[in-house]
Structure 1
């Protein structure tokens, strides 16, 4: 009787390889899910490429689109609103890298109707001890000059109230401290008086309020 033919060996099931393949597929699916979730939780918004001073007309070069987390409590301006923002004015000083908010821009013209802008150059000793910011309410007060004195016939010191639009400090070239040019929005009827006071170089700035 002929010998029985040998049976071919049964293939071994490689359970470890099968499990690894399943794990790899699951990881890929989870990665895709995370990517979709991450994309849906971000938004493209506008930020300041460089510092934008209050009252300045905003141009496209002033802005850049950035990705941020989509947080309902975060007030931002969507990047697709760029055309609506360009040409408007900055309602406040916007620091470089800061996100734009709906309150950062305004369609109002500066100065407002019935008001004027006047620049006053003030030496360090006649400035408040704290840096002025846009929106500060101040008074510019006439002071006695080095070659003159306050007129004793006047019962009140001459002063003009206004709102700070900007305050820019120059370079100290004399070693006595750099002067600051304070641009103020004042009622039109006070503009001439303030300009005359500024021309004397003897005007002090008094900070009255920072209430907004």
Structure 2
């Protein structure tokens, strides 16, 4: 090796050594540690717990279902209910909806339908009755009402009515209408049909006493009968 190379090597070695001795050891970076606040931690845990409880309550409310009685076959007004007419279903029931609970199904069997029951509907307590709509000693007379004779208020089973005998149209035209009050008889609605297509005629089955039944039938045949609703507190 030449003397020139030796001097360069020696100088480089001395330079590195001097630089290393001058720099000294390198200190690691300082990491600041945040001070934990127990109050904030406790509040966070409380909020998490409250949120979890709220979700749990919501899930329970949404998932809560009630066993109720349903109608599985069509039942006419006054018909006695049997087990084959009814079923059970589990539904999320709104508190405002009144429905017969499945536990009370045995009490409903044997009662009569107060209204016409449709398959697939929930059974309400007001739709059944222990009373017969046609009582002993009564007769049922069908009365056809023209559209202008049908009351605006809905005719419901059990509603009390008055059967009014009006003079024939020809008698009214000739001035031979009697000056006395028209004859009236008491009755009670058993069933009312829907308006017939085309004519709009509504047929109402009315229960009346056996003594008055033939008279009412005669009025219907002559077209001299009108049906008048009785006030709810009327006798």
Interval of TM-score (by shorter of Structure 1 and Structure 2): 0.5 to 0.7
Which digits, 9 at most, give the CA deviation of each residue in 1:29-60, with x for residues without a partner? x9xx88x9579942211123466443122244
SS at match of 1:57: coil
Verify: 1:168 aligned to 2:163, yes or no.
Answer: no
Verify: 1:189 aligned to 2:211, yes or no.
Answer: yes
Deviates more, 1:44-53 or 1:196-205: 44-53
Greater helix share, structure number = 2
Q: Distance in 2 between matches of 1:76 and 1:172?
A: 33
Q: 1:125 aligns with which of 141, 145, 148?
A: 148
Alignment match, 1:55: 78
Kindly tell me: are residues 154 and 59 of structure 1, through their superposed partners in 2, closer, same or farther at Cα, counting changes over 3 Å? farther
- Equivalent residues of 1:89, 1:109 under 8 A apart: yes
Kindly tell me: are residues 61 and 199 of structure 1, through their superposed partners in 2, closer, same or farther at Cα, counting changes over 3 Å? farther
Q: Distance in 1 between matches of 2:167 and 2:157?
A: 27
Deviates more, 1:182-191 or 1:142-151: 142-151
Structure 1 residue 71, shift from structure 2 partner: 7.4
- Equivalent residues of 2:114, 2:157 under 8 A apart: no
- In our comparison, the structure showing a higher alpha carbon Rg is 2
Whose relative contact order is higher, 1 or 2, with alpha carbons under 8 Å and at least 6 apart? 1
- Equivalent residues of 2:167, 2:177 under 8 A apart: no
Greater strand share, structure number = 1
Aligned length: 178
TM-score where L is the length of structure 1: 0.63
Structure 1 residue 136, shift from structure 2 partner: 2.6
CA RMSD across the alignment? 3.7
Structure 1 residue 182, shift from structure 2 partner: 0.8
Kindly tell me: are residues 102 and 130 of structure 1, through their superposed partners in 2, closer, same or farther at Cα, counting changes over 3 Å? closer
Unaligned runs of 5+ in 1: 1-29
Verify: 1:144 aligned to 2:167, yes or no.
Answer: yes
